[in-house]
Structure 1
Amino acid sequence: MPSDPTPERPGAFPVLSPAAQALAARCESHVNELARRMARDAFERLPGYSELPADVKDVEIAATVRTGLRLFLRRVRDPQGQAGDYSLFRERAAQRAEEGMPLPMLLRSHSTAVYVLWQALRDEATDGEDGALIELVDFLLRGHEAIIGLVAETYLVEQVTLSAERREHHRSLVRGLLDGSVPPQRAFEDLGLDGPCLVLRLHLPKEEGPAASAVAGRRLLRRVQSVVDRTLGTEAVSLLGVDGGYAIVPQRIDDPDGVRIGEQLCTRLRQVCGDDVRLSAVAADTPSAAPSAARTAADIVRIARACGRPPGIHLMDDVLLEYHLSRHDESSDRIAALLNPVEDRPELVDTLRAHLEHRHDRRSTARHLGLHPNTVDNRLARINELTGLDIASPRGSALALAALLLRDNVPG
C-alpha cells in the first residue's frame, strides 16, 4: 500500500506546495471507490489473487487499502507522521505470512495500489497542475519505498518464526511418536504422513575439544538439518541432534528399503560432519509400527558400530547374526561378564572387535589397527589368557562376539 516515511525519519519528506495539497485533497472523496476498485478489480489481475476468500478481499484487504489511501492523503498535509501509522501494515503482513500468501503477491498488491493511486491523481489533475502532480508522484514513490521494506521485513520475520514453530511442533510429534506419549495414528495425521514409511536412524560423529562448543554445535545442527531436509524432501519429518537422531520419510516404490536415499544422505552428511556417518532404515507399514521400527534401526546402527563395521548405511541382513546374539535373555549378563577381565584394557577390546570383524585374518586386522601382525597375535593370546575364551574356536568366537554386543547394548 502507498504510505509515508517511517516515524523514525521526521522531516524526511519536504512540505508540499499548496497546489499539490489541493490536488490530493480533491481525491479524498474517492477513497472508498478507489479501495473497492483495487481490492475487487486491479488486484484480480495478480496471479493467485482470485483464489483468496471473498471476506479477505472485501473486508481485510479493502480496509488496508483505505488505511493506506487516507494515510497518504494525511501525510500530504502533514509529512511528519505519527507513532502507530504502520501498525495495520505490520499486522496484515504477518497475517498474510501466517495464511501462506506468497510474498511476491503481497508486494505486487502494494505496487499495484500505488499505480492505481497514481492514475487517480493523474485523472484528477487539470491543465497547469503538472508541477503539483510531479510533487505528489515523488512523494508517493518515496513513501512506497518505505512501506514496501517494512512489509517485506515483517513478512519474512513472521515466516521465520512460523517455520521455527512448525519445526518444533513436528519435533515434539516425532518425539511423542517414538516414546509412545502420542498415539501413532494421531501423530501421523498431524505430521502429514500417509501410508508406509521408512524410519531412519542417523549416527553422526561427535565433536570433541574446542570445536565442541555450544555455538559450534548449533551451527552444525543447522547444517545437518539443511542436508536432511534437502535430501529427504519436504514430506520427511525429523528429530535431530548434533550426534544424530531420527527421520521419517514416506516409503518409495522404487526404493522400498531406503538404500538409495540412505546412500545419498550419508554422502552429503560426510561433507558436513566427517566420515563416521552411519544410517539404518527400517520400514513401518502402519503408524503403530513406527516406534518398533525406530528401535530396530537404532539397534542395527549400534550393532554395526560395536562390530567395527565401516561407516555408511547398514541393513538388517548386514548384522543378522549379531542382531540375534545381542538380544537380552536370562543368559545375557553372564555372557557379557566374560569380557570383564579386559574391560580396563581398551586396546585389547578394540583388537578383539577388529579381529572378529575381519574374519580372524591377523594381517587384515593388523592393517586396520596400524599394528604389526605379531602384536595382534600377542594381544589375542592375552585375551585368551585373561578371559579363558578360545577366540580361534567357533564357540569361543561366538561367545566373544555375543559378549561384545551385549556390553555395547545401550541406546545409541
Structure 2
Amino acid sequence: MPLSDAARALALRCEPRVNELARHMARESFEQLPGYADLPGDVKDLEIAATARHGVRLFLRRVSDPHPGAGGLRLFRERAAQRAEEGVPLHLLLRSHALGVYVLWQALREAAEPGEEGALIELVDLLLQSHHLLLGAVAETYMDERSALEAEQRERRRSLVRGFLDGTLEPVPALLEELGLDGPALVLAVALEPEDGPGGPDGPDGGQPDAPGPVTVRRGMRRIQTVLDQTFGRELLFLFDAGAGHAVVPRDCEPPDDLARRLSRACGAGVRIAAARADSPAAVPEASRTATEILRIARVCGLPPGVHGLDDVLLEFHLSRPGPSGRRIAALLDPVAARPELLRTLRTYLAQQQDRRLTAVLLGLHPNTVDNRLARLAELTGLDLGSPRGTALAIAALLLRDTGQGDEGRGGA
C-alpha cells in the first residue's frame, strides 16, 4: 500500500542526516554491544558506517518505491559473509542491525511534528516490514559462510591427519604443533563390528554380515569419537571412513580395559579396537599400520570384539608377514577355494582352539559333520590339523589369503 504524502514528507526530512546517522550508529550506538569495541577502527569507520548508510538510504528509497527489488540486500549479504570469515559472532551482527533500526526510528520520531503521528506510524510499519527480510538475508548468508569455512577447516585437518598417519607428510615442528603432538603417542585402530547375517555364520545366506547404512555408520563413528575424547580427556586426532578409523592419543598410556564396552554402548554395535605405541611422532605411521594389522588379524582369528594389542596376536602377526613363501602357503587352500563351508569350518575350528563340539555349536552342526568337513579339507589340501605343523600352516594360509598375500584375485571365505 503506497505511503501518504505526509509520511513521504516526514521521511524526506531525515535525508540530510544520512551520514550523521551512519556515523552515530557506527561510533556511538553500537559501542554498547558486547564485543563491538574490540573491532578494528577502520572496520567501524569504513565498512560498518558504509553499511549503516546504505541501510538508511535503502529505507528512504522504499518510501518512494515500495518494491525496490532484491538488489538492495546484496551489500548486507556481502558484509555478513565478511563478518563470518572474520569470526564476528552472529549475535553481535544481528544486534547491530536491530539497534540500527532503533536509531532510525528515533530519528523519525525526532523529525515528526505535532499532528504527524499517523505519518510516523506508517513509516514505522514500513520499517518493521522490511527489517525481518534484512535479518533473514544476513543470518542465512552468515550461516552459509560459516558452514563453508568450517567444512573447509575440517577437510584441511582431515588431510593433515591422513597425511600424518600414512606418512606422506613429514612431521615437521609446525605440523606437530598444529596437531598437538610433541612426544610419544598411542595409536588406536577402531572398527565397527557387523553382526552375522541371517542364519548365523553358517546360515543359508553364507553368514554374510549385515552392512549398516552410511548414515548409521557415520553416526556410530561420531559417537565413538566423542567417547574417545571423553575417555582421554581431550580432543583426539581422529580419522574415519566406512566404519573404521584411527585415533591418536598424544601421550603414552594404556587404553582402559572397558573401552570397547563403553564404545559399544555408545554406538549400539560391537566395536573392535587395536592399540599400538609410537615412541615419537615420526613413528606414528608405522604404529598406525601395526594397529590396523592387529585389528584385521584379531578378526580373522575369531577373537571377540574388544581391545587388542600385539601380544594378543603375536604368532599370527608373524605368520602373516609377506615373503617369498607367502604365495606358496596361501595356495595350500586353493583346492577348497570353491568350498566356503569347508573354509568357514576350518576358520571356526581354529578360532575355538580346535574344539570340535564348540565349533559344531557355533555353526549349528552335528559334531560328526564337523569331523567329516575337516577330514575332507585334509584330504583335498594335505593339511594335517592333528599336528602342530599342520595347524600352523592352516593358520598362516588363512591369514595370508585374507591379506591378499596370495595371487591377485585369490580371496578368503
Instruction: Show the counterpart of 1:348.
Output: 342
SS class of match (1:84) = helix
Distance in structure 2 (CA, Å) of the matches to 1:51 and 1:247: 40
Distance in structure 2 (CA, Å) of the matches to 1:84 and 1:189: 47
1:157-176 CA-partner distances (Å, limit 9, x unpaired): 22222233233333333333
**TM norm structure 1:** 0.82
Distance in structure 2 (CA, Å) of the matches to 1:47 and 1:261: 43
SS class of match (2:240) = strand
Distance in structure 2 (CA, Å) of the matches to 1:401 and 1:140: 79
Contact 1:351 1:376 in 2 (8 A): yes
1:113 aligns with 2:100: yes
- How much does 1:19 deviate? 2.2
SS class of match (2:338) = coil
- How much does 1:71 deviate? 1.0
1:142 aligns with 2:138: no
Distance in structure 1 (CA, Å) of the matches to 2:109 and 2:307: 68
1:90 aligns with 2:47: no
Instruction: Show the counterpart of 2:206.
Output: none
SS class of match (1:91) = helix
Out of 5, 18, 28, the position equivalent to 1:31 is 18
Contact 1:197 1:248 in 2 (8 A): no
SS class of match (1:85) = helix
Contact 2:189 2:247 in 1 (8 A): no
- How much does 1:145 deviate? 0.7
Instruction: Show the counterpart of 2:301.
Output: 307
1:122 aligns with 2:121: no
Relative to structure 1, the CA distance from residue 190 to residue 124 in structure 2 (aligned partners, 3 Å threshold; closer, same or farther) is farther
Instruction: Show the counterpart of 1:76.
Output: 63
Relative to structure 1, the CA distance from residue 384 to residue 222 in structure 2 (aligned partners, 3 Å threshold; closer, same or farther) is closer
Out of 255, 258, 261, the position equivalent to 1:257 is 255
- Report the AA paired with residue 105 of structure 1: L
1:227 aligns with 2:214: no
- How much does 1:379 deviate? 1.9
Instruction: Show the counterpart of 1:7.
Output: none
1:106-139 CA-partner distances (Å, limit 9, x unpaired): 2222112222222222233332222222222211
Instruction: Show the counterpart of 2:189.
Output: 201
Instruction: Show the counterpart of 2:355.
Output: 361
Distance in structure 1 (CA, Å) of the matches to 2:72 and 2:344: 70
Distance in structure 1 (CA, Å) of the matches to 2:255 and 2:356: 34
Instruction: Show the counterpart of 1:10.
Output: none
Instruction: Show the counterpart of 2:39.
Output: 52
Relative to structure 1, the CA distance from residue 19 to residue 52 in structure 2 (aligned partners, 3 Å threshold; closer, same or farther) is same
Relative to structure 1, the CA distance from residue 115 to residue 285 in structure 2 (aligned partners, 3 Å threshold; closer, same or farther) is farther
Distance in structure 1 (CA, Å) of the matches to 2:374 and 2:42: 79
1:356-411 CA-partner distances (Å, limit 9, x unpaired): 21112222222222222222222222233333333233333222222221222249
Contact 2:260 2:272 in 1 (8 A): no
- Report the AA paired with residue 321 of structure 2: R
- How much does 1:258 deviate? 6.7
- Paired residues for 1:395-410 under 5 Å: 395-410=389-404
1:339 aligns with 2:333: yes
1:41 aligns with 2:39: no
Instruction: Show the counterpart of 1:177.
Output: 164
1:336-356 CA-partner distances (Å, limit 9, x unpaired): 333333232222222222112
Distance in structure 2 (CA, Å) of the matches to 1:231 and 1:97: 30
- Report the AA paired with residue 103 of structure 1: L
Contact 1:201 1:247 in 2 (8 A): yes
- Report the AA paired with residue 147 of structure 1: L
Instruction: Show the counterpart of 1:290.
Output: 284
- How much does 1:191 deviate? 5.8
Percent identical across equivalent pairs?
57
Contact 2:192 2:272 in 1 (8 A): yes
Contact 1:193 1:250 in 2 (8 A): no
Distance in structure 2 (CA, Å) of the matches to 1:265 and 1:21: 67
Distance in structure 2 (CA, Å) of the matches to 1:93 and 1:109: 12
Aligned CA RMSD, in angstroms, stands at 3.1
- How much does 1:90 deviate? 1.1
- How much does 1:146 deviate? 0.7
1:167-192 CA-partner distances (Å, limit 9, x unpaired): 33333333333444332337945964
- How much does 1:303 deviate? 0.5
1:131 aligns with 2:127: no
- How much does 1:217 deviate? 5.4
- How much does 1:48 deviate? 2.7
- Report the AA paired with residue 119 of structure 1: Q
Relative to structure 1, the CA distance from residue 146 to residue 165 in structure 2 (aligned partners, 3 Å threshold; closer, same or farther) is same
Out of 371, 375, 386, the position equivalent to 1:377 is 371
- Report the AA paired with residue 54 of structure 1: G
Distance in structure 2 (CA, Å) of the matches to 1:184 and 1:281: 21
- Report the AA paired with residue 160 of structure 1: S
Distance in structure 1 (CA, Å) of the matches to 2:364 and 2:304: 16
Gaps of 5+ in 1: 1-13, 209-215
Out of 50, 55, 76, the position equivalent to 1:63 is 50
Contact 2:237 2:249 in 1 (8 A): no
- How much does 1:300 deviate? 1.0
Contact 2:246 2:288 in 1 (8 A): no
1:311-354 CA-partner distances (Å, limit 9, x unpaired): 34433232222222222234333333333332322222222221
Distance in structure 2 (CA, Å) of the matches to 1:97 and 1:197: 36
- How much does 1:50 deviate? 2.8
SS class of match (2:72) = coil
